[in-house]
Amino acid sequence: MPSSLRILFIANGFLILLDASLGYYLAPRMLRFTQHAETDDPGPIIRGIRRMLTGVVTLYMFFNCLAYFRADNGLMAVVTALIVLDLGGQLYVRYRSRQQGGDGA
């Protein structure tokens, strides 16, 4: 297998871990931007968002492995682009929450 594909596979693994950790901590912040922000107990909603995050991370890893073991450069590029877009979206949410007077975490 090409070494560039291997490097991208490993880089995607690290990006997926970063994406998962950011998503876990940003789930309460994403809740603030929804209509459910006024609920008394946001715990079940946050757990639901975090459960969905687990599914997304599993899909990323599945397609990352599929692209690597099939040596499919196109699929690997699509997976990389999706991960980077997801990370960018999460960082944007963090930036927006800081701009609106969030706690800065």
pTM of the model: 0.78
Q: Three-state DSSP class for 105?
A: coil
- Measured N-to-C along each axis, helices 3-32 and 43-70 cross at an angle, to the nearest 10 degrees, of 170
What is the C-alpha to C-alpha distance for residues 102 and 99, in angstroms, rounded to an integer? 7
pLDDT of residue 34: 61
Kindly report, residue by residue over 33-70, the tens digit of the pLDDT: 665 556 667 777 778 888 888 899 999 999 999 999 99
What is the C-alpha to C-alpha distance for residues 98 and 94, in angstroms, rounded to an integer? 6
**Within the chain, how many helices (H) and strands (E) appear?**
3, 0
C-alpha pair distances (Å), 89 with each of 20, 26, 84, 95, 98: 13, 11, 9, 10, 14
